[in-house]
Amino acid sequence: MSKHWRDKLDLSIQKGFARFFFNPSPMIDNHFRRVENEKIVFVVQVSQGPIFSLNEDCVGVSLFLGLKYLPIENLYRELLLGYKADSLDVKTFWTTGAPMASLSSVEFRFCKQMTKEQWQAELDHLFNSFEEVALPYFKENANEEFLLKVADRQMIGRDGRDLYYKRPVQLFVAGKRAEALKLAEKTLSEIEAGQIEMVAKRYKSFLENLTKAESIMS
């Protein structure tokens, strides 16, 4: 295997996902997406981490499987930013998701010293597992009723604070706009009581935008 074996791995992974109509995100490295319909997008985040073993230069490859429900994610970003935004290529905004390793105990390892046959066998293992585990997961969860509910109980994003925003947005998109405003107002009061000034300022702006959106749709 040449000294550029990591570049070869990246290209091999890209070609493998293309078989399942997952294309590289134009804005985010190591992310692949498949637009299932006008509202639902499947996303795979590929991570590579070093494996330290004797006399081998190896990486382990892991996959995170995400689903984006665009009515929620687009409104989420619009209310945070104050203008219309497309969440298709935003790295951390998932409506729901799971590491593939949590759905199956498969592992994938690529090493510089592998023969061509060993390399191809590991690629086959990776993408056969993806077909057997990931695709059914995507299909099972790609329904609007589920995706409207799941944001209410999952914390997806950089930290759990995303849920402060996701819950009102989920309620709003589900048509429960008065309930969404009430929850956001309650959350702001709790944040202000905690004296987290920067967070409170950001959430107040979010609430103002949510209120404007509600008045437009009323």
For residue range 116-125, what is the model confidence (pLDDT) as tens digits? 999 999 999 9
With H, G, I as helix, E, B as strand and everything else as coil, classify residue 34.
strand
Phi, psi of 51 (to 5 degrees): -120, 120
* pLDDT (0 to 100) of residue 31: 92
pLDDT, residue 49, reads 87
Helix (H) or strand (E) holding 59: strand 56-69
pLDDT at 149: 78
Distance CA 163, CA 103 (A): 23
Q: Determine the pLDDT at residue 59.
A: 92
**Statement: residue 158 has pLDDT above 50:** no
Q: Which residue stretches of the chain are H helix? A: 5-18, 70-81, 116-129, 135-141, 144-150, 162-173, 177-193, 197-217
pLDDT at 2: 52
Q: If you average pLDDT over every residue of the chain, what do you get?
A: 86
Local structure of residue 62 (DSSP, 8 states): E
Q: CA distances (Å), 65 to each of 32, 47, 96, in order?
A: 10, 11, 9
Which is more confident, 3 or 163? Answer: 163
CA distance 83 to 101: 37
Q: What are the pLDDT digits (tens) for 94-140? A: 888 899 999 998 899 999 889 999 999 999 999 999 999 999 999 99
Model pLDDT, residue 157? 43
Q: Which two tokens stand for residue 186?
A: 């309650």
**Which of 34-43, 73-82, 84-93, 143-152 has maximum average pLDDT?**
34-43
Of 46-60, 91-105, 194-208, the range with the lowest mean pLDDT is 46-60
Tokens of 102: 């949590």
* pLDDT level of residue 167 (50, 70, 90 thresholds): confident
For residue 159, the model assigns a pLDDT of 45
Q: 194 CB contacts (<8 Å, ≥6 apart)? A: none
Residue 56: pLDDT over 60: yes
The residue among 89, 86, 69 whose CA lies nearest residue 29 is: 89
Q: What is the pTM of this model?
A: 0.85
Rounded to the nearest 10 degrees, the angle between the axes of helix 162-173 and helix 197-217 is: 10
